[in-house]
Chain A
Amino acid sequence: MSAATHPLLRVDRVVKTYESTAGPVHAVQSLSFDLERGAFAALVGPSGCGKTTLLNAIGGLDRVTSGQIWIDGTEITALNDRDTIEFRLHRIGFVFQAYNLVPVLNAWENVAFVLELQGVGMKARRDRAYELLAAVGLTGKELQRPSQLSGGQQQRVAVARALASRPSLILADEPTANLDSKSTETLLDIMHELNRQEGTTFLFSTHDQRVIDRAEQLFRLDDGKLVASN
């Protein structure tokens, strides 16, 4: 698949089935869609509809039962564990519901965390981290640890971290679930702006109406199936 001529993300007949004591659970059922480069999209639906499962599969965090997922011309469902980790490290950014910053690293070190794993030199990663912290409105907070930041500020650090390595795709799992309205609006403004300025593709998993309102493309899931998209 050529990156220039094909969508950034292609989900092709993906099935994810868990085994449980009560029998098999079909979390995702033959689900397919494409996502264009530079999209600001969201997977929406009620709790338990398979949003997070699908997001995990797209991020290479979980294996699919069948089907294929292509990102930027690479079929990640065909990669072995080692290459999946490498791919994730270089090509995908994550924003989690609970921020999940490393508590013993300060703000800029958290942003530079992925760059450090990639082998980027000290000066380059510091410059990039400071630049991104400025972009998310956290100038002056670079040396503060997560415990010294508010929830909204921590989530902004997490967004900056996700952007640090200039990934093709950012996956955001319920990023606003723990934020108040003001922080949510601020965060969405920042992400939307970065989406426009840097052309970074965002795919959210959410049932937050404020995120849904901002999304330019929606994939509605129900019971593991894609029931609507626009």
Chain B
Amino acid sequence: MVHSGAARTNAAVNEARLALRLAWRNLGRNRRRSLITGAAIAFALFFAVILRSLQLGVYNHMVATVVGSMSGYVQVSDTAYWPSQNLDYALYEDPAWLEELRANPDVATAYPRLQGFALLSAGERSGVAQWIGLSPEEAAAPLWQARLASGSWTAAPGSLWLGKRLAEQLRVTVGDSVVALGQGYQGSMAGASWVVAGTLNLGNPELEKRSAVVELSEAQAFAGAYGLWSYVQVTPRRIELSEDPTGELAAQHPLAGAHFLGWQTRMPELIQAIQADSTGGRIILFVLYVVIGFGLLGTMIMLANERQREFAMQLAMGMGRGILAGTVFIEVLLLSAAGAVSGGILGRIAVLILDRYPLRLQGEVAAAMEQQGWEPILPPSLDPSITLTHAGVIVVIALVAAAWPLRTVFKTSPVHR
């Protein structure tokens, strides 16, 4: 059969339009089934988005509270400092190097600290604390200013700020004295009497139970570690720099005897906990997707059986199998896309609401979380890629399920009309 190129082009355009029109109208031919199928896709995505957002949100929260603001995304320390965190492996102060590091546009903040452990006591009560010597610049930063639960940031010598739970444990308030006793630099005894100038909200119950903050020079005097830093806490502007700080940053700002360590290296147990929990979440999502996938497959089998006669007739009339398969494909694509868009929007709204009003855990679960060191709330991740990724997954599942009616199209004989 010989037909002109223009006729072939017109036929192709008409066929594409016909396929689109048939697919669109087919969605309305069994409205209840289309609605149920679309709703199944929407709810699957809705739950997947909430589940994954909460899971990733909790991890972000853990990292932000445990890592980001306290130990830091990146630490520059003596190569022997980790994992013992021994005061003896401190760095010599190098203000010129620090200024150069701070001038790097990829570095948001860089603060030197001196850190160690001590026994604190007030009257008859005592407790172990990790003391942190903060530079005046760091203490003046909005982050620490915002953490003040009571009292004030003062430059008065001998001032101490306690995690609010530690203050409760020692039963001290602003103005009370606390005695500190510990090991100083190179085996010296460290001792001091400090006055509580304030208490701190650290966003992490475990940190609030064991953190005590003093001014850097006060800490150096306490430990006899004059002119020394335990480490420099660095917050990069780009998150990937904290994942591999040894590359770019270390190369640009070498410091003799020191190295750059990301939090992932310093805290492998946190990474492992996140990975273990994340795997559990993925298994739940997998089960959800399997259930939805089989539901969709059932719908597709029904669709194929109902239309087999119609497929045969259309083939007999001269409709190509390709265009017929295209019609079915577009129909499933429209249906799954509608479900995915609805579910994605609903899921996103729910995530935004949960971000504004995060779920707060109660009872034993809350206590268990506090014991592990983080606040018992479930803040969601707002990363839009979660919605997009899972919408994509569910559309792909729907399209895989569409393989059944497509197979029917290619197996149907026009004789069986």
State whether A96 touches B417 (Cβ < 8 A). yes
Contact A96 B1 (CB under 8 A): no
Known: A88-B318, A89-B318, A117-B319. A96 touches B10 (CB 8 A): no
The stretch of B21-29, B57-65, B204-212 in contact with A is B21-29
Contacting pair B313 A86 (CB below 8 A) = no
* Proximity string of chain A (60-99) to chain B, C-beta cutoff 8 Å, 1 when within and 0 when not: 0110000000000000000000010111111000101010
- B314 A118 Cβ-Cβ under 8 A: no
Is B1 within 8 A of A119, CB to CB? no
B26, chain A: closest CB distance, angstroms = 6
Q: Assess the B29–A104 pair: CB atoms within 8 A.
A: yes
In the complex, chain A residues whose CB is within 8 Å of the CB of B309: 98, 100
Contact indicator B317/A114 (Cβ below 8 Å) = yes
Q: How far is the CB of A107 from chain B (nearest CB, A)?
A: 14
Contact residues of B between 288 and 329, Cβ < 8 Å to A:
309-310, 313-314, 316-320, 323
Q: Main secondary structure on chain B at its contact with chain A?
A: helix
Q: Is the CB of A118 within 8 A of B310?
A: no
Q: Are B310 and A85 in contact (CB under 8 A)?
A: no
Q: How many A-B residue pairs have CB under 8 A?
A: 76
Q: Is the CB of B317 within 8 A of A104?
A: no
Nearest residue (CB) in A for B10 is: A119
Given contacts A59-B316, A86-B318, A96-B313, contact A102 B22 (CB under 8 A): yes
Known: A100-B313, A117-B18. A61 touches B415 (CB 8 A): yes
- Smallest beta-carbon distance A164→chain B, Å: 10
For residue B263, give the distance in angstroms from its CB to the closest CB of chain A: 58
Asked if B9 is at the interface of the complex by the 8 Å CB criterion, the answer is: yes
Q: Note all chain A residues with C-beta closer than 8 A to B323.
A: 117
Given contacts A100-B417, A102-B310, A105-B25, are A119 and B13 in contact (CB under 8 A)?
A: yes
Interface contact A117-B9, CB-CB below 8 Å: no
- Looking across the interface, which residue of chain B has its beta carbon closest to that of A122? B14
Nearest residue, chain A, Cβ from B29? A104
Chain B: minimal CB distance from A87 (Å) = 6
Chain A contacts with B in 96-142, Cβ cutoff 8 A = 96, 98, 100, 102-105, 113-114, 116-121
Contacts known (A61-B316, A114-B317); A90 close to B1, Cβ less than 8 A: yes
Chain B, residue nearest A74 (CB): B1
A88 and B316: CB pair below 8 A? Answer: yes
Do B310 and A100 touch across chains, with their CB atoms under 8 A apart?
A: yes
CB-based contact B314/A102 at 8 Å: yes
Is B155 among interface residues, defined by CB-CB distance under 8 A? Answer: no
Is A94's CB under 8 angstroms from B317's CB? yes
B317 in contact with A113 (CB, 8 Å): yes
Docked CA distance A83–B3 (Å): 11
Cβ of A56 under 8 Å from chain B: yes
In the complex, how many angstroms separate the beta carbon of A124 from the nearest chain B beta carbon? 11
Quick one: which of A94, A121, A161 has the most chain B CB within 10 A? A94
Cα of A94 to Cα of B26 in the assembled complex, Å: 23
Report whether B1 and A104 are in contact in the complex, using a CB–CB cutoff of 8 Å. no
B11/A104 in contact, CB under 8 A: no
Pick the contact of B18: A83, A87, A90, A116 (CB < 8 A): A116
Residues of chain B within 8 A of A62, CB atoms compared: 413, 415
Does B355 sit within 8 A of A, measured CB to CB? no
How far apart sit A151 and B310, CA to CA, in the bound complex (Å)? Answer: 17
Closest partner residue, chain B, to A90 (CB atom): B1
Q: State in angstroms the CA–CA spacing of A98 and B417 once bound together.
A: 9
Task: Kindly provide the distance from the CB of B8 to the nearest chain A CB, expressed in whole angstroms.
Answer: 7
Chain A 30-64: CB-based contact to B (< 8 A → 1; otherwise 0):
00000000000000000000000000100101100
Q: Does A85 lie within 8 Å of B320, measured CB to CB?
A: yes
Contacts of B17 in A (CB 8 A): 116
Which of chain A's residues has its CB closest to B14's CB?
A116
Query: B26 touches which one: A104, A113, A120 (CB < 8 A)?
Result: A104
Q: How far apart are the CA atoms of A117 and B19 in the complex, in Å?
A: 10
Q: How far is the CA of A117 from the CA of B15 in the complex (A)?
A: 6
CA distance A100 to B39 in the complex (A): 31
B417 x A119 contact (CB < 8 A) = no
Q: Determine whether the beta carbon of B8 is less than 8 Å from that of A119.
A: yes
Q: Cβ of A117 and Cβ of B318 under 8 Å apart?
A: yes
A85 to B322, CA, bound (A): 12
Measured between beta carbons, the chain B residues less than 8 angstroms from A120 are 10, 14
Q: Determine if B224 is an interface residue (Cβ-Cβ < 8 Å).
A: no
How far apart are B201's CB and chain A's nearest CB, in angstroms?
Answer: 63
CA distance A83 to B55 in the complex (A): 57
Please judge, given known A-B contacts A94-B316, A100-B309, A117-B14, whether A61 and B29 are in contact too, CB under 8 Å: no
Give min CB distance, B413 to chain A, whole Å: 8
List residues of A (149-170) whose CB comes within 8 Å of B's CBs: 161
Specify which chain B residues have a CB less than 8 angstroms from the CB of A94 in the assembled complex: 316-317
Cβ–Cβ contact B25 & A104, under 8 A? yes
Pairs across A and B, CB under 8 Å, 30 listed: A61-B413, A61-B415, A62-B413, A85-B318, A85-B320, A86-B3, A87-B1, A88-B318, A90-B1, A90-B318, A94-B317, A96-B316, A96-B417, A98-B309, A100-B309, A100-B310, A100-B417, A104-B22, A114-B317, A114-B318, A116-B15, A117-B11, A117-B18, A117-B318, A118-B7, A119-B7, A119-B8, A119-B13, A120-B10, A121-B10
Beyond known contacts A86-B3, A89-B317, A105-B22: 7 more, CB 8 A cutoff: A61-B414, A96-B417, A100-B313, A117-B11, A119-B9, A120-B14, A161-B317
Chain A residues with CB under 8 Å of chain B are 56, 59, 61-62, 83, 85-90, 94, 96, 98, 100, 102-105, 113-114, 116-121, 161
User: What residues of chain B have their CB less than 8 Å away from a CB belonging to chain A?
Assistant: 1, 3, 7-15, 17-18, 22, 25-26, 28-29, 309-310, 313-314, 316-320, 323, 413-415, 417
Considering the complex of A and B, which 5 residue pairs feature the smallest CB-CB distances, nearest first? A89-B318, A119-B11, A119-B10, A104-B25, A100-B313
